[in-house]
Amino acid sequence: MTQRTRAPRREIFGWAMFDFANSAYTTLIITVVFGDLFTRVIVGDAPDYKLGNLLWSLALAVSYLMVVVCSPIVGAIIDYRAAKKRFLFASYLLTVVTTAMLYWVAPGYAWLGVVLLILSNFAFSIGESFIASFLPSLGPPEDLGKISGFGWALGYIGGMASALFVVLLLGEVSAENFEHIRWVGPWTAFFFLAAAIPTFIWLREPGVARSLPPGASYVRLGLDRVRQTLTHLKDHRDLAVLLVAVFFSMSGISIIITYAFIYGAQVIGWDESVRTLMFVLVQITAAAGAFGFGFVQDRIGALRTYLLTLVLWILAILLIYLTPAIAAAAQTRLGLDWQAQYVFLMVGCVAGTSLGACQSTTRTLVGLFSPLSRSAEMFGFWGLSMKLAGVFGLLAIGLLQALFGLHKAVLFCILLFVAAFLVARAVDETRGRRIAAEHDTGVRAW
C-alpha cells in the first residue's frame, strides 16, 4: 500500500479555498437570496407562489439527477486520465458563466431562469465531487479529518463573506429593489471566479495519466470502470454501506437547509433582524463544528465522530420541534419572557454545529475508504448519494408538510438520522471485527 504523505501547506490551502469560493453559490443562489427572488419576484404568482416553487424544485431536481447520472462515470474517466484539475476547471468556468447570466432572468423570463439554474447547479454540484476527490492525496489518514474540517470551515466563512456584500449594498429581495438585487448572480460569479484562483495555482494533479486503449471511447471507458467497481463491490463494501448512511443523513440535512428559514417564518414567526442573526450564527457555529470536529475525527476515528454528529442532529431536530413549547413553558411556568424566535436562535447553534461537523466528517470517511487510483470515481458515487438524498428529502418533506403541516413534518428528519446512525453503526462494528481479526495495529482511520 502506498504511503500517503502530507501535502505542502499552500497546496492544502489552495484546495480549501475552493470550498471558500463555491460557498457563495450555495449561500446566495440556492439558500438565501436567488431562490426567494425567483419564486416571489421573477415568477411572482402570489399569494401562494405555487408555480414559482414548482419551477424552482423542478430546476434543482433535474440538475441533481444529471449529477446522479454523470458523477461516477466522469469520475472513473478522470481517474484513468489523471484529469481531475482539468475537469474541476471546466465545472468552475461553467458555474461562473451561467451564474453571471442570472442577471438577465427578469419577470417574464422564468424559463430562462430554469435553464440557467439547471446548468449552474449541475456544474456546481459535480464540481463538489471533483474537488473532494483530491482529499485522499493531501495527507495520511490521520490528517484527513483536520484537512477536510479546515476546508469546510473556510467554506462557511466564505458564505458569510459573500453574503455581507449583498446585505450592505444590494438590499432586500423585493420587486421594488429588483434592479439592485438582480446583481446577486454576477456578484456570486465574480466571488467564485476570484476566490478560487489559489486552487488552480497551488493544487497539483495527483496520479499519472494513461492512454486511451485503441478503439475505446471515454464514455465506454467510464462505463466499464464503473461496471468493474459494481461487480467487485465486496472489495468496497464498507464504502457502499456508508453511502447508504450518507443518503439518509443528507436527506435530513437537505430538508433542514431548504426549510430552516421557511420554518422560522411560518412556525416560529421571527422578525427580519432575528432571521439575519440566525444566518450569521449558523455560519459561525457550522464553521466551528467543521474545524473542531476535524481534530475529534483524527483522535477517535472519523466513523465514530460521524455517529456522534448524528446523535447531535437527532437532538437538534427534537429541539427545533419543541421550540414553541419550550418558549411557552418558560413563560407560563418560570415567568421568563422567552420568545420562540430567540429560543430558536439557540437551537440554531446546535443545528449549525451538527451541520458543519457532519458534512466534513462524511467527506473524510469517503476519502479514507477510497483507493487513490479510484478516488474521483468513489467521490462520484458520494455525489450520487448526496444528490439522490436531496431529491428524496425535498419530495418527502413536500408531501408530509401538505398532509401534517411543517411543524410536525420536521420530525421525519429524526427517522432519517436514526436510520443513518443504525447503518453507520453496522459499518463500525463490521469494520472493527475485521480489523481485530487481522490484528491490524495501524492508524485507526475508521
Domain extents in the chain:
8-207, 233-445
Spatial distance between the Cα atoms of 358 and 177, rounded to a whole number of angstroms: 37
Task: Report pLDDT for 430.
Answer: 67
Q: Which residues contact 391 (CB under 8 A, 6 or more apart)?
A: 61, 64, 65
Is the model's pTM score more than 0.95? no
Q: Is pLDDT larger for residue 120 or for residue 231?
A: 120
Using DSSP's 3-state secondary structure scheme, residue 440 falls into coil
**Rounded to an integer, what is the distance from CA 381 to the centroid of its chain?**
14
Q: Which range, 95-109, 125-139, 253-267, 299-313, is most confident? A: 95-109
Q: Tell me the CATH class for 233-445.
A: mainly alpha
296, 145 contact by CB (below 8 A):
yes
Task: Report pLDDT for 187.
Answer: 97
Spatial distance between the Cα atoms of 418 and 6, rounded to a whole number of angstroms: 35
Taking only the tens place, the pLDDT of each residue in 330-360 is: 888 888 778 889 999 999 999 999 988 888 8
Spatial distance between the Cα atoms of 320 and 136, rounded to a whole number of angstroms: 36
Q: State percent of the chain over pLDDT 90.
A: 38
- How would DSSP label each residue in 175-234? STTHHHHTTHHHHHHHHHHHHTHHHHHHPPPPS---PPPTT--HHHHHHHHHHHHHHTGG
CA distances from 258 to 53, 57, 187, 227, 274 (A): 12, 11, 22, 34, 18
Shared fold status for 8-207 and 233-445:
yes
Spatial distance between the Cα atoms of 445 and 367, rounded to a whole number of angstroms: 10
Stretch 181-191: mean pLDDT, rounded?
96
The architecture (CATH level 2) of 8-207 comes to Up-down Bundle (1.20)
Spatial distance between the Cα atoms of 265 and 341, rounded to a whole number of angstroms: 9
CA distances from 257 to 81, 86, 361 (A): 36, 30, 18
Taking only the tens place, the pLDDT of each residue in 263-292 is: 787 788 888 788 788 888 988 999 999 889
Confidence of residue 14 (pLDDT cuts 50, 70, 90): very high
Question: Is the N-terminal amide bond of 47 cis, ω within 30° of 0?
Answer: yes
